Amino acid sequence: MDDIPVMEGMLYVKVFDSPVAHGKIVNLDFVAAEQMENIVKIFSYKDVPGENQIGGIIPDEPLLADHEVHFRGQPVLLIVAENEDAAEEACKRIKIEIDPLPVITDPREAFIQGKLLSPSRKFEMGDTKNAFSNCVHIFEGQAVSGGQEQLYLETQGAYAYPTEHDSVKIFSSTQGPTQVQRTVARVLGVGMNKVEVDVPRLGGGFGGKEDQASAWGAMAAMVAWKLKRPAKCIPHRMEDMRMTGKRNPYSSDYKIGFDADLKIMAYEAVFYQNGGAAADLSPAILERTLFHATNSYHIPHVMITAHSCKTNLPPNTAFRGFGGPQGMFVIESAIDHAAKALQVHKDTIQRKNMMDNGDEFPYGQIVTECQSKHCWDEVMERYEVGAAKKEIENFNQQNHFYKKGLSLMPVCFGISFTNTMMNQARALVHVYSDGTVAVSTGAVEMGQGVNSKMLQVAANCFGISHSKIKLETTNTTRVANTSPSAASSTADLNGKALLDACNQVKERLFAFIKTQLAANEDAVVDIKEEVVFINNEASAFNWKSLVQQAFMKRVNLSAKGHYATPVINFDKTTEKGHPFAYHVYGTALTMVTVDCIRGTYDIDAVKVVHDFGSSMNRAVDLGQCEGGIVQGIGWMTMEEVIYNDEGKLLSNALSTYKIPDIYAVPQILDIQFLNTDGNELAIFRSKAVGEPPLMYGIGAYFAIRNAVLAFNPSSPIGYDAPITPEKVLMALYPHTSK
């Protein structure tokens, strides 16, 4: 946001948020505050010109609280000031009185009280009841995974100014420009055509700005539109941390049954998702938990139930993986539980039950182009897992206060928005008369490298140098009705749309040159390094002269491309279909050392074989993979979101919320590209890479847990992530922890 030069007269917008997690507002007095020097106006819900509603999937979230507050940090008032200091001062003068109502922070408690954000969902395949009655081994338990703060380097925020025709332009730090546009239009009570959203790039998103950027966009836009002045609304880090939602914590029950040969015959799970005080994206996240509940395994009889529970926490939201990691953690816990009880290596059970082509996912899609076993077997061989296990056993026999642990974590992640409708994109290409090119897509660059990939698509299609192409900002007036940059699908969807646009221009240019050179109609035209070839022979034309002459002959040098993923479908009434364009596969080997005096640990190595398809940019893809792994390790080990019983965020700053730093990166982080043909629905057959690697981080949890058990085989340690050093210490010495 701060890369954008602001206009003179810009107003500063500060949010006054609820100090209480649940209650009725009985008195709200901001008269004195509003009369202070340099305070322009204080907005309450009464000042919202249109609908006081920002809920994306379900309309259950006001922009500004009206009579009740539902979470601590809920926006109540907007203080509009000439400068930040004045806003801070005024904030202190506001008096709010709230009659407290009961606060719920636990999803199971919310479920018992019937507080759900959306209808519960159930995926079923086969007949678990009958299957369990034939099982030789059955294990049941609970698994819990915590929240995760997105902690994008740049906080949320928006800058807006009024434009002609009663319109407004918003620069927003959002993954979803159209979602901001839609929300602003609703809040202002105007058409979407009066709202322009522009996104140059983000200082990180990680899912946190898929939906929740809309509130900040709406606040800045409302102030700018009503007061006819530019306005900026950017929370500070601690405000951002307490007001915005995070990865949904889950508490889950599992039941897993095996035959005598350790084949998993039946699996049941019930997921209690902590949704927070409003639906936000939680219903969609819940859906992805269901889709990934069996991870890479084929299980003939499955019944998975998921509840989105309403608690008095900030509405939880998207975070890289989007419910998938939470689903996978539970099945991995169930299998681990079984392995420990049966005293077999977990990887024996994992490999034996790995899915393969022709198997059916519980949601009806048939497994194709499966790379699960390839990745797994490649890890076992390349990284000599058998020898590594022996080494660890020897080490653990010889060392008392250091213990090592190892785990294998397979991943199978579905690519496409689970909501079929969202799998569409558009792109706009202008070739200017001097041969330079400008490209607009719906893709938002947030550090993931999508702009590099878009450049590659255009350069590759036209056969020209990257230096001739400019990537424009993501803007709703140039590319409309965009899906957010999310679901690992941004490069696929926007890349395919861009390819369509470039091909249209290219076809016109090729048709033009054939007439120009009186070439045969089936002559083959090509452009390589900006030289035009006819039937593989260099012609006198280069890209620039071709474009210039085509323009002189009035050829259309612009095009709009469109792409909608074919094949995919899903029927929510039967919970069956073919929701994903394809799947991404891989396996991670993780090795750790636990310091059994201190409870601290090192991640010695994460070694991965990952299915990139035919990678179009190995540097970008490797970066995504490395970053995802470290972020996944953070979620599973050190990042602990803590609210107290009053719904107050205790881990509310970087001093109390620990994310991985360079010292937390595994000593050895080795990623092998499993080179496959890739899928034709992937851009240039280069598979989506944004989210799948995050789930390799789950391996760190189980490796640490194994090391703990090597020290204390009777430790009562459960399946409760993150496995922080404190929890490790308690698990090492349970008898002294009381």
Q: How far is the CB of 51 from ligand MOS (least distance, A)?
A: 25
169 interacts with ligand MOS by CB under 6 A: no
Residue type, 526: D
Nearest to 169 by CA among 187, 194, 188: 194
- The span from the CA of 487 to the CA of 465, in Å, is 30
Interaction between residue 319 and ligand MOS (CB under 6 A) = yes
Q: How far is the CB of 415 from ligand MOS (least distance, A)?
A: 11
Q: Judged by CB, which is closer to ligand LUZ: 160, or 415? A: 415
Q: Which stretch binds ligand MOS (CB under 6 A): 315-323, 563-571, 625-633, 703-711?
A: 315-323
Q: Does 22 bind ligand MOS (CB under 6 A)?
A: no
| Interface residues toward ligand LUZ, by CB under 6 A | 210, 281, 284, 288, 318, 322, 417-419, 422, 486-487
Closer by beta carbon to ligand MOS, 75 or else 207: 207
Decide: is 288 part of the binding site for ligand MOS (CB under 6 A): no
152 binds ligand MOS (CB under 6 A): no
Distance between CA atoms of 245 and 247, rounded to whole angstroms?
A: 7
Other Cβ atoms less than 10 A from the Cβ of 730: the count is: 18
Q: Which residues are paired to 407 by β-bridges?
A: 590
80 interacts with, out of ligand MOS, ligand LUZ, none, CB within 5 to 8 A per kind: none
Q: Distance (Å, rounded) from C-alpha 98 to C-alpha 581?
A: 49
Query: Please, what is the minimum distance in Å from the beta carbon of residue 210 to ligand MOS?
Result: 4
Q: How far apart are CB 241 and ligand MOS at their closest, in Å?
A: 18
Site membership for ligand MOS, residue 255 (CB under 6 A) = no
Identify which range of 313-321, 374-382, 389-397, 548-556 contacts ligand MOS by CB under 6 A: 313-321
| Residue 691 amino acid letter | E
Binding partner of 319, given ligand LUZ, ligand MOS, none, CB within 5-8 angstroms per partner class = ligand MOS
Residue with smaller CB distance to ligand LUZ, 407 or 631: 631
The reply on whether position 492 binds ligand MOS by CB under 6 A is no
* Helices and strands (DSSP H and E) totals, the chain: 18, 29
Distance CA 333, CA 702 (A): 8
Sign of the alpha-carbon torsion through 624, 628, 629, 631: positive
Please, which residue, 424 or 539, has the CB nearer to ligand MOS?
424
Q: How far is the CB of 271 from ligand LUZ (least distance, A)?
A: 16
**How big is the site for ligand MOS, counted in residues (CB under 6 A)?**
9
Task: Tell me the CA distances in angstroms from 20 to 96, 102, 109, 391, 660, one per residue in order.
Answer: 10, 11, 19, 54, 31
d(CA 96, CA 67): 12
Residue 445 falls in the annotated catalytic set? no
- Cα 431 from Cα 113, distance rounded (Å): 60
Q: Which stretch binds ligand MOS (CB under 6 A): 101-109, 299-307, 318-326, 681-689?
A: 318-326
Smallest gap, in angstroms, from Cβ of residue 628 to ligand LUZ? 13
Asked whether position 245 contacts ligand MOS by CB under 6 A, the answer is no
Give the range of 34-42, 66-74, 319-327, 460-468 binding ligand MOS by CB under 6 A. 319-327
Minimum CB distance to ligand MOS smaller for 208 or for 599: 208
Q: Burial letters for 208-222: b for 16+ Cβ neighbours within 10 Å, e otherwise?
A: bbbbbbbbbbbbbbb
Pairing of strands 531-534, 525-528: antiparallel
Distance CA(568)–CA(572), nearest Å, equals 13
Query: Hey, what amino acid is at 605?
Result: A
Check: CB of residue 346 under 8 Å from CB of residue 408. Answer: yes
Active-site residue (options: 239, 360, 691, 726): 691
Kindly state whether residue 175 participates in binding ligand MOS, applying the rule CB under 6 A. yes
From ligand LUZ, ligand MOS, none, which one binds at residue 284 (CB under 5 to 8 Å depending on kind)? ligand LUZ
Distance CA 571, CA 555 (A): 44
Minimal distance, residue 284 CB to ligand MOS, in Å: 10
Tokens 């629905």 correspond to 681
Would you tell me how many other CB atoms lie within 10 Å of the CB of residue 9? 12
**Residue 709 DSSP symbol:** H
The CA distance from 735 to 729, in Å, is 11
Question: Stretches 112-120, 317-325, 364-372, 578-586: which one binds ligand MOS (CB under 6 A)?
Answer: 317-325
Stretch that binds ligand MOS, among 53-61, 301-309, 316-324, 546-554 (CB under 6 A): 316-324
The answer, yes or no, to whether the previous bond of 249 is cis (omega within 30 of 0) is: no
Q: Whose Cβ is closer to ligand MOS: residue 320's or residue 687's?
A: 320
Tokens 């703990």 correspond to 708
Question: What is residue 487's three-state secondary structure?
Answer: coil
Q: Which is nearer to ligand LUZ, 486 or 625 (CB)?
A: 486
By beta-carbon proximity to ligand LUZ, the closer residue of 176 and 257 is 176
Question: Shortest approach of ligand LUZ to residue 173 CB, angstroms?
Answer: 17
Of ligand LUZ, ligand MOS, none, which one sits near residue 418, judging by CB under 5 to 8 A according to partner kind? ligand LUZ
What separation in angstroms does the CA of 194 have from each of 186, 220, 221, 477, 683?
11, 15, 11, 10, 33
Residue 186 touches ligand MOS, criterion: CB under 6 A: no
How far does Cα 460 stand from its chain's mean position? Answer: 28
Rounded least distance, CB 486 to ligand MOS, Å: 3
Does residue 320 touch ligand MOS according to CB under 6 A? yes
Q: Which of 487, 502, 729, 730 binds ligand MOS (CB under 6 A)?
A: 487
Helices (H), 517-595: 543-552
1 binds, among ligand LUZ, ligand MOS, none (CB under 5 to 8 A by kind): none
> Taking a C-beta distance cutoff of 8 angstroms, is the pair 33, 93 a contact?
yes
Residue closer to ligand MOS, measured from CB, 290 or 486? 486
Report the SS3 class of residue 290: helix
210 belongs to the binding site for ligand MOS (CB under 6 A): yes
Do you know the residue count of the chain? 738
In the complex, the residues that contact ligand MOS under the rule CB under 6 A are: 175, 207, 210, 318-320, 322, 486-487
The residues annotated as belonging to the active site are: 691
